[in-house]
Structure 1
Amino acid sequence: MKSLTRSESLLLLGLFIFLFFSLGTSQLMLYSLDEAKNAECAREMYERQDWVVPTFNGQLRTDKPPLHYWVMMGSYALFGVSEFSARLGSILCGMGTILLIFAFAWRHFNARVAWISALVLLASLHVGVQFRMAVPDPYLIFFLTLAWVSFYGWYQQRKKILNLAIFYTSLGMGILAKGPVALVLIFAAIGLFLLFQGAFRKVFRLWLVPGLAWTLVLALPWYLYVHEATSGAWTEGFFLKHNLERFKAPMEGHGGFFLITPLYVLIGLLPFSIFIPQAFVRAWKQRKEVPSLAFGLSIAIVVIGFFSFSGTKLFNYTVPSYPFVAVLIAAFLDSVLDQEMAWKKLRPSLITYGVLAALLPVAFYLGLRLDPVVSHLAGWAIIFLTFPLGAAAAWYRFRHGEFSRTMLALAGSFVVTAVLFFQLAYPIIDRENPVNQTISSINPEEKVIAYKQFNPAYVFYLNRSVDVVNTPEALQEVLSTEPSVIVISRTEFLPELSTFSELQELARKRDLFETPTTILFRKTPPPLPRSL
């Protein structure tokens, strides 16, 4: 059978990735806090045709720069406002990221490394979740990957002007995706790589002045426009709160010990993360002789190391390292798969994974069973039996010396699990979220307000702003002037809300896998006077 060319492989792989990442995206509500706020912010900007000032619920949103909002606005214009439209840009970024790393591995290693790299990423449930979400991270990951790949093309003396143009354009897009962190990560990784190669002076050949000038031409105008339009409020909120303060200290309870960040990578890249220690050791030993390994290792060290020092630690922060960690894993596996004594190097990792795979279905079952909202759906944990089944199949192939099929068994079990989870189980679990369970209680003509805190998805699905009041006095004023009012809040504020006799509880629903419980009230008319 004729082997596929690189172009044919890219085309088929790209089609598969798009279909794979699209699974479930139209069935899942924009329920998580970040997704709901991002999608609604883009909708508000789209309705105003405002490409400068991001708002959520009519209020300035300073969390992130505008690139993902712009892409969502374009998607809304083409396909209408929907869950799929909000997530389409992330799907395309996921497809682009994997195709980029596939082409990179094919060119600088070989076809097998390219395919294994793609399998490592496609098998990761965390990658699957990340590139299905309406958040800015997929855009940052794609443009960081594009910048690094184009830099390495320049370093290898290939199409130097074109690669530099792509590099500085990607840098500008990264800054518009998530801010100055793109600049820090890209140049820190490049600097470490050049140090490994003893070629740090080459950084001065990067056409830094004209290149960075072009980056500023792309990124700076919006920052200046939004600064002027908001009288500096967006600039202060973004740079001080969402960059400096987030790095200095944990925000919103997202902290943790130093080693939790590399632990995130080990969990996020299962099942192939079992080979990360060996892959990193091999890359370190060969960093002088094999520049492509040194390059991937540099990116992994910088991204993981940078966010290990960050006060705020989130699972998604380390994902920019995944594409190049995948290459390191693939290169390691490629180096041992054809060796007669390969089993000695792979056996400890496979045994470790076998034990872990046996525990994963139990962990998912307990996670569902212990959550009162979805405990009745704990039976869906059965789909995660694919993990131990895949581990058993991989071990069987391994014992028969079929090492390539061993890798396929590992990847296949996770890909099948992802299809079952995103297409079948997750949509059913998602229907239990409080927004989906309670929004039918709200009549279109009713006034809706929130007391102190509420789930932001209400704004997106009501397609209108929700006024927020923060004191009993402000709530009393609204109740005294509106004939019919819906009040959305949380049970933690019940002591204050219970003093309002005119409020009748409509619904109460706990958040999925979270502690807050959403509660809805309706103002009821006073009772009619009793006739004498």
Structure 2
Amino acid sequence: MRAAVSPLRSGKGRAAALALVALTMGTALYVSRLDAIPIQPGNEAMYAFPPLRMLRTEDYLVPYYEHGPFLEKPPLTWWILAGSYKLFGTTIFAARLPGAMAALVTILVVAVWARRRAGPPAALLTALVLMYSFRFATFTRVFAADAFLTLAVTLAVMALDSAARDPDLPDGRAGVVAGLSLALAFAFKGLIGVVLPLGGVVTGLVLDRRRPERWKRRAPIAAAILLLVVAPWHLAMSRRFGATFWEQFYWRNQVLRGATAAYAHHPPGPSYYFGVLALATFPWFLLLPAVVLHRRAASSSDSAPLGWLLFGFAFLSALRMKREVYIEPLLPAFALLVGEGLGTARVSTRRARWAWAIAGIATAGGVLLWIRMAPTLTSLAGADACAALGVGLFVLSASLLATAAIRRARGGPFLVSVACGLLFIAILTVESRLSRFDPAPHWGRRIRRECGQGCEGLMLKLDFHSLDFYSRIEWREIGSVGDIRSCLTASKSFLVMRSRDEEKLDAQAIPYRVLDRRPWLQESWFQASLRPDVYPLQSLSLVALEPSDRTLPVSRRERGRDRPDGFRYISDPR
């Protein structure tokens, strides 16, 4: 046993080598293979497509999405993506690079703050904890706005905490920096960017039983700067949309979204974010109780990260609208707590070693789960990708258990970080293999070649807005085939539907042709692999419609027959 684990005891040299490998691997993971998986429907498509219209129309004030102005978010995220498209072209890489860079800058910022608070070891470990928190690594690839918000909230918490605690800081400088940081956070997501840092810093002060330094001078300066920065955008939007802007942006999106079930018909309960945080910060989550208990026993004088995490968690849990990605702005606070705890040798305590052991056992359970998933996952992603996932889980479990078994393991957290990196590579390999079951890239490029901007796109009971990005046209969701006739406005139109619903088109007097059918993995590969008795793939069809002929009479002899151009006559329901 000693021979097997001696590298972890051998001193600073090998621990430093492991740390260097972990940092290098993590940086490469965040910026490489950004285009390995297609643009995802939903949130990512909502941010990836509107900048294309901004560049085409040169109207940068208002993003347009789903056939109308999108007034629910500030525009800074779309401006950044538009700039990325301008520099690197309209590619998936350009859409995801800004979010990846924001994530790396966030890691650097929390490392700098941890160094000031607890020294270089804490800075390094804080960076690794955040870099290798499972959901932070995955969210930043597809949720650009939340990656930007996380960076802005981190900067705002640092600025506000410094303004509240540093008596030597000039009042003007403290107020200006705090106001600018709050304005930046607001510009990405609205009021949540102001509430999270303010509430977190105030909660930290309450935990420390400390009054803010000269707040009567600094707070008005910060508030004035915040209002001055955001006022021009509000005025411009008010001039164009009037009261509609205020209703959509503030009342519907900032109030109704959080306080009512208007946007969430079946909202999760108040304990929802416990499981989300545990998964998001795996495998570091179980160290949090040991760190918090140690802080309480040591009577730490600075509870800014703890206040940030507690307030944010309580605030998000109180909202009716809950989504997994909303937890992302709290992950830097978690990383600071755990990284500072590890950096001050708390990893050698009994509680921390138990945390490593439990995490290792849980990961070993993941290996057993992988065995159940293997048959379906092999058929979907290939034997090598499935095997890589199993090896990654095994290596992570072994590294966690080894760190728990050694009383003073200098390189333990670094070894765990490297193991996390290997597992993330395996997961990315699986997801890239599964991209062949997403027809949006192929269909979008085909549609763009055939008709450019002059087409209409319809989706029958599907949320497939990633097609907006690939085809460069805005697709419209419809609830039934009966809605097709009323939605067709272009000379050539396309319909995406489940293949099993093709026969429903026979009730419409519109010529159509099925251009392509492709398999589609609707649910996540994890969910699909857990049900080996259920076939995981559905078939989607791309259908070409010709609305210009919808008014032509169709003779009884022509019904159901093919036309010379390849379209099929459909019987008139009348």
How high is the TM-score relative to the length of structure 2? 0.80
The answer for the alignment partner of 2:220 in structure 1 is 209
Letter in 2 for 1:449: G
C-alpha deviation, 1:59, in angstroms:
1.6
Distance in 2 (CA, whole Å) between partners of 1:177 and 1:518 is 35
Distance in 2 (CA, whole Å) between partners of 1:343 and 1:420 is 32
Letter in 1 for 2:189: K
User: Does the 8 Å CA contact 2:159/2:178 hold for their aligned counterparts?
Assistant: yes
Within a 5 Å distance, the mapping from 1:88-99 to structure 2 comes to 88-99=97-108
Instruction: Note if 1:47 corresponds to 2:56.
Output: yes
C-alpha deviation, 1:386, in angstroms:
2.0
Distance in 2 (CA, whole Å) between partners of 1:254 and 1:21 is 34
C-alpha deviation, 1:111, in angstroms:
1.1
The answer for the alignment partner of 2:269 in structure 1 is 257
C-alpha deviation, 1:486, in angstroms:
2.0
Distance in 2 (CA, whole Å) between partners of 1:396 and 1:138 is 33
User: Does the 8 Å CA contact 2:305/2:334 hold for their aligned counterparts?
Assistant: yes
> Which among 450, 456, 479 is matched to residue 458 of structure 2?
450
C-alpha deviation, 1:18, in angstroms:
4.7
Gaps of 5+ in 1: 5-9
SS of equivalent residue, structure 1 residue 255:
coil
SS of equivalent residue, structure 2 residue 457:
strand
C-alpha deviation, 1:437, in angstroms:
5.4
C-alpha deviation, 1:518, in angstroms:
4.5
Instruction: Note if 1:35 corresponds to 2:44.
Output: yes
Gaps of 5+ in 2: 1-11, 14-18, 525-535, 550-557, 565-574
> Which among 238, 241, 244 is matched to residue 249 of structure 2?
238
Distance in 2 (CA, whole Å) between partners of 1:529 and 1:21 is 52
The answer for the alignment partner of 1:138 in structure 2 is 147
Letter in 2 for 1:417: L
**CA shift digits 1:294-349 (9 cap, x unpaired):** 111100101111111111221111221211211211232334458xxx36323321
The answer for the alignment partner of 2:128 in structure 1 is 119
The answer for the alignment partner of 1:353 in structure 2 is 359
The answer for the alignment partner of 2:94 in structure 1 is 85
CA, structure 1 residues 371+401, in 2 after alignment: closer, same or farther (shift >3 Å)? Answer: closer
Within a 5 Å distance, the mapping from 1:19-30 to structure 2 comes to 19-30=28-39
User: Does the 8 Å CA contact 2:441/2:467 hold for their aligned counterparts?
Assistant: no
Distance in 2 (CA, whole Å) between partners of 1:388 and 1:268 is 19
> Which among 293, 305, 308 is matched to residue 296 of structure 1?
305
Distance in 1 (CA, whole Å) between partners of 2:284 and 2:136 is 13
CA, structure 1 residues 278+402, in 2 after alignment: closer, same or farther (shift >3 Å)? Answer: closer
User: Does the 8 Å CA contact 2:179/2:221 hold for their aligned counterparts?
Assistant: no
SS of equivalent residue, structure 1 residue 25:
coil
User: Does the 8 Å CA contact 2:499/2:517 hold for their aligned counterparts?
Assistant: no
User: Does the 8 Å CA contact 1:172/1:218 hold for their aligned counterparts?
Assistant: yes
Distance in 2 (CA, whole Å) between partners of 1:186 and 1:70 is 23
Distance in 1 (CA, whole Å) between partners of 2:374 and 2:252 is 35
Q: Count residues with an aligned counterpart.
A: 514
SS of equivalent residue, structure 1 residue 136:
helix
The answer for the alignment partner of 1:428 in structure 2 is 433
SS of equivalent residue, structure 2 residue 141:
coil
How high is the TM-score relative to the length of structure 1? 0.86
C-alpha deviation, 1:130, in angstroms:
1.8
Instruction: Note if 1:107 corresponds to 2:113.
Output: no
Within a 5 Å distance, the mapping from 1:364-403 to structure 2 comes to 375=380, 377=382, 380-384=385-389, 385-403=391-409
Letter in 2 for 1:406: G
User: Does the 8 Å CA contact 2:71/2:248 hold for their aligned counterparts?
Assistant: yes
The answer for the alignment partner of 1:523 in structure 2 is 545
CA, structure 1 residues 510+174, in 2 after alignment: closer, same or farther (shift >3 Å)? Answer: same
> Which sits farther off after the overlay, 185-194 or 268-277?
185-194
Within a 5 Å distance, the mapping from 1:473-512 to structure 2 comes to 475-476=484-485, 482=491, 484-490=492-498, 497-500=505-508, 502-505=511-514, 506-507=516-517, 509-512=519-522
Instruction: Note if 1:218 corresponds to 2:237.
Output: no
The answer for the alignment partner of 1:170 in structure 2 is 181
**CA shift digits 1:473-496 (9 cap, x unpaired):** 6523677984x5321245797685
CA, structure 1 residues 285+219, in 2 after alignment: closer, same or farther (shift >3 Å)? Answer: farther
Letter in 2 for 1:316: V
Letter in 2 for 1:258: P
User: Does the 8 Å CA contact 2:286/2:359 hold for their aligned counterparts?
Assistant: yes
